Amino acid sequence: MNKDNTMNSGKQNQEKGLNPNEDSQVGAGGELHQIAGGDHPVLTTNQGIPISDNQNSLRANPVGPTLLEDFVLREKITHFDHERIPERIVHARGTGVHGFFELTESLKNYTTAKILTEVGERTPVFTRISTVAGGAGSIDTPRDVRGFAVKFYTKEGNWDLVGNNIPVFFIQDAIKFPDLVHAVKMEPDRAFPQAATAHDTFWDYISLTPESMHMVMWIMSDRTLPRSLRMIEGFGVHSFRLINEAGHSTFVKFHWRPKLGLQSTIWDEAVKISGADPDFHRRDMFEAITAGNFPEWEFAVQLFTQEEADRFPFDHLDPTKLIPEELVPLKVIGRMVLDRWPNNFFAETEQVAYCPGNIVPGIDFSNDPLLQGRLFSYIDTQLSRLGSPNFHQIPINAPKCPFGNHQRDGHMRMDQPVGRVAYEPNSLSGNSPRETPANGFHTAMVKETGDKSRIRSASFADHYSQARQFYLSQTALEQAHIASALVFELSKVEHVHIREAIVGHMRHVDEDLAQRVAAGLAFEKLPPKPVAAATVKEMKPSPALQIIGKMKDTLKGRAVGILIAEGSDGAVIKKINKAVTDAGATVKIIAPKVGGVKLDTGSMLEADGQLAGTPSVLFDAVAVILSDEGAKALSKESAAIDFVRDAFGHLKAIAVDKGGQALLRTANIPQDTGVVDANDKNAFITAAKTRQWGREKSVRTLS
């Protein structure tokens, strides 16, 4: 057991009595409870039983497994799981794709799971990437976490690795999940905002939940504004266990790393994309696969023992914490390629049912309390959404290996079991399914002792150290983006005390960050810090947590738009088109009319998009190739002015010829290193591989 987890409950109860001010108190896990404003109704179960603790699940000991007898947890989550039908309560807006997983390095010393031991074996997968907060009809590009779920159809049954594009989460205990989602969803009295965190109920909840501060840093960063679903990382979030032939277990964290590298949009760009193409990410994935540009991710693991975990300056069972790559390096063991779009969106992407409890022999769970709750919640949700305990027989959910048991009947039963026997053990059938002690699933042999209670481990009490590490690990530009995002979000919050509370928390993360946000909100002075339940530690910055600092020097997977008009130079267009496609990007021709234009050679060039409906926000870089007459005509067209202004404002490379330069002058766009001569294809390709970050201070005010 982690020595940090052996602290007795006396210290925890002492922490629970901390009173930072007369309006609130801090719990053992650092959660703030409002006690001001007079008497409150008693919180009870649906049976009227008063609830003593609504923050912690019942577990065998402070870091032990969650107990099935916890009727408060079960009632709360069961009711929550059945609140919506048939749309998913969270992760409703998703894009699913078929593909395969290929193991490149065996983990035979750590696990018996064949999918992790048989090098070269290709296993079918179905991957669904989704937003969290919005409904099925919401936009693709809000500031939001992205779910990253992979169903492996292995030889030994289905393994569902259900995670996010962020390695940590908002809360430490599953019992708090219904409250988190209720807070982030549309406010119930007005049914807005949709797919947005910039409102009072979300930030009110966050202000009273210090454990969320690390996640807040991530969601306010560029990580939640991805350029493409093909350019995000994926994480299993929790610690799991691998079990080898000898029965020894090793802790593991799972990572997906995109071969195209990470790339994000900026906020103003994301907002405009949502208007130009609400399906931007889904369309991008569809077009890439249709063109044969199959997205690929490396699969990596972090492996560590209990003894190594005991030396970590945090508890790895706390889902609000990550393990820095500098502390436990990533080991790449495989790859995933997505290469086939679903035949029917509803039958596959909508009906796919992921459950973290779906694991195969050689893999097991940890005592992460959020994971423990998810093991119950997901299958309960699928019973509600898909209407039957037989949802596993829907083709997208069915294993591709043989499977059989004595479960029978039920709504929507797909197969037709035959024979007299539907129980085990039996002596009446020689071919009915039997248990297989040698090769069947075995749980890790872990000793659990202690007094069962509703108390959070003291090792979970540090809510600010990793939030601070994440912020200090970012480049200066990314830090500015985080500050600006906080100002934007909190400016949408009506209640001043909520804004003040969040800025108070930011003071534990970084005083400069708090000052920047406070200035952006026009505070005359900084609000006080809340009392921290644990000392904030100074952890070394981790460059692996950046996006800008580790962007790949590539144009692969990107898109370039070429704006043309009547009389444009066909030779220059051809030269740029070839250079861009040779660099691995796609090209789309944009013209005032979708039918295209007549070039200087007299030939017609068909357009891929009409100017008014295909703005520059849809591209990573643009070229503007215009004749004198074409430039003159477009100078009177607001869509053309917006096309180049937005490209410049969104820090994109712009290639221009003489006519294009004239349009830039009309739009009052200055020259910089990102505005290049269209005849210098190499300079354009180099500039197009990244954003022109040096331009940002000249085009917008950052907090």
pLDDT score of 22 more than 60: no
pLDDT score of 635 more than 70: yes
pLDDT value, residue 2: 44
Catalytic residue among 5, 91, 281, 316: 91
Question: At 365, which helix (H) or strand (E)?
Answer: strand 363-365
pLDDT score of 21 more than 90: no
Q: Among residues of the chain, what percentage have pLDDT more than 70? A: 94
Question: At 291, which helix (H) or strand (E)?
Answer: none
Regarding the domain with residue range 553-699, which homologous superfamily does it belong to in the CATH classification?
Class I glutamine amidotransferase (GATase) domain (3.40.50.880)
Q: In this structure, what are the phi and psi dihedrals at residue 534, rounded to the nearest 5 degrees?
A: -150, 155
Angle between helices 681-688 and 570-582 (to 10 degrees): 50
Q: How confident is the model at residue 50 (pLDDT cuts 50, 70, 90)?
A: confident
pLDDT value, residue 32: 47
Q: Decide which of 3.20.110.20, 1.20.1370.20, 3.40.50.410, 1.10.287.110 is the CATH code for 464-548.
A: 1.20.1370.20
Q: For the segment 54-111, what is each residue's pLDDT rounded down to a tens digit? A: 999 999 999 999 998 999 899 999 888 877 657 899 999 999 999 999 999 999 999 9
pLDDT value, residue 295: 98
- pLDDT averaged over every residue in the chain: 93
Catalytic residue among 56, 164, 358, 367: 164
Active site residue 91: yes
Structure tokens at 359: 């694991």
pLDDT value, residue 245: 96
Q: How confident is the model at residue 38 (pLDDT cuts 50, 70, 90)?
A: low
Average pLDDT over residues 386-392: 91
Q: For the segment 591-612, what is each residue's pLDDT rounded down to a tens digit? A: 999 999 999 999 999 999 999 9
pLDDT score of 209 more than 90: yes
Average pLDDT over residues 515-536: 97
Query: DSSP assignment of 89-139, as one string?
Result: SSS-SEEEEEEEEEE-S--TTT---GGGTSTT-EEEEEEEEEESSS-TTS-
Q: What distance in Å separates the CA atoms of residue 464 and residue 259, rounded to the nearest whole number?
A: 32
pLDDT score of 369 more than 50: yes
Using only the alpha carbons of the chain, give its radius of gyration. 27
- First CA to last CA across the chain, in angstroms? 44
Active site residue 431: no
Q: How confident is the model at residue 434 (pLDDT cuts 50, 70, 90)?
A: confident
pLDDT score of 316 more than 70: yes
Among residues 167, 17, 189, 7, which one has the least CA distance to residue 533? 17
Domain boundaries in the chain? Answer: 464-548, 553-699
pLDDT value, residue 489: 98
Half-sphere exposure of 294 (CA within 13 A, CB side): 15
Q: For the segment 267-300, what is each residue's pLDDT rounded down to a tens digit? A: 999 999 999 999 999 999 999 999 999 999 999 9
Q: For the segment 662-696, what is each residue's pLDDT rounded down to a tens digit? A: 999 999 999 999 999 999 999 999 999 999 999 99
Half-sphere exposure of 433 (CA within 13 A, CB side): 12
